[in-house]
Amino acid sequence: MKHVPTRLVVNADDLGLHPSLDAGILRAHREGIVTSATVLVMGQSAPEAVRQARAQGLALGVHLAVCTRLAPVSPPERVPTLAPGGRLRAGWADFARAWLTGRVRREELEHELAAQLARARELGAEVDHLDMHQHLHLLPGVRPVVEALARRERLPLRWPDRLPRLAWRRAPGAAVKTSLLTLLARSAPRPPAGVRRVSAGGVFEAGQLDEAALLSLLDALPPGDFELGCHPGEGRPHVPEDPLWTYGWQSELDALTSPRVRARLERAGVELTTYGALASAT
């Protein structure tokens, strides 16, 4: 019988958004189990974060974003319906309503997402994969735009098609949102030729990852490919673009750098990997 390994991508989102978040992500790679990070290229600290990530060999994807309150990469006058008032919309629900009611022009979305990928490369990132902030590439109409970009640039696309693990009892509201997006992922048509979707189970909602939860998750992992989405950071950063935003950044960092977690991975024979490596293997 062929041996099926357990492979795990540990991906930290929002690199470049804030120096304290960057410090946590970079430390979680150096001293912990993070294998991959996705960059918000419009973030205040993105240039330095990409430089440091490259220096320590952290695999980088682009966290395409349309709802961060940040300024777009494109000149605001080029994307007026995507970034009204010169800023992207506040949250995923705001963007989804505007998109699904036809208040955002598709050509503006295409232009801005291509500009974000180009900016990542200008900063020096060797792009490993694409994904989208809040998984909004699963929305009807947005998916073909992002898939066209992935196909043109020959990049794998992160595709969350599994239900969240442990999120129901720890964060029911966030789990509902994730599950709705999962249903969109599972019901989407097969990808067009040239598009490589990288699917892995075990999506964690940010802010809910402490050492006990992580150890419990690792104990339950069967053979196969999985991902752990995380948001480590140092302390309690104040993010000006979203002053009410709070996560358990420090508790996630502590969990991801825990010697007990590393020992549990090694004892279970779990292979840490990246989205690019998974795409190459398939």
Give the model confidence (pLDDT) of 53-108 as tens digits: 999 999 999 999 999 889 999 999 999 999 999 999 988 889 999 999 999 999 99
Residue 8, both tokens = 């795990």
Q: Residue 168: pLDDT band by 50, 70, 90 thresholds?
A: very low
Strand partners, 62: 39, 130
Give me the mean pLDDT over the 189-195 stretch.
70
Tens digit of pLDDT for each residue in 254-280? Answer: 999 999 999 999 998 999 999 888 888
| pTM of this prediction exceeds 0.85 | yes
Q: Say what angle helices 142-153 and 106-122 make with each other, to 10 degrees.
A: 40
Please return the burial class of 154, using the count of CB atoms within 10 Å of its CB with bins 0-12, 13-18 and 19+: exposed
Q: Please, which pLDDT band fits residue 37 given cuts at 50, 70 and 90?
A: very high
Parallel, antiparallel or unpaired: strands 197-198 and 157-158: parallel
**pLDDT value of position 197:** 65
Residue in the block written with tokens 């020992």 = 263
Q: In sequence order, which residues have a C-beta less than 8 Å from that of residue 56 and are 6 or more positions away?
A: 26, 29, 30
Please check the confidence at residue 204 and state whether its pLDDT lies above 60. no
pLDDT at 41: 97
Average pLDDT on 131-142 reads: 88
Q: Mean of the pLDDT values across residues 208-223?
A: 85
Higher pLDDT, 201 or 129: 129
Output the DSSP codes for 138-167: GSTTHHHHHHHHHHHHT--EE---SPPSSH
In sequence order, which residues have a C-beta less than 8 Å from that of residue 243 and are 6 or more positions away?
A: none
Does pLDDT of 36 surpass 60? yes
Q: Which residue has the higher pLDDT, 231 or 196?
A: 231
The whole-number pLDDT of residue 195 equals 66
Choose the weakest-confidence range: 78-87, 194-203, 241-250.
Answer: 194-203
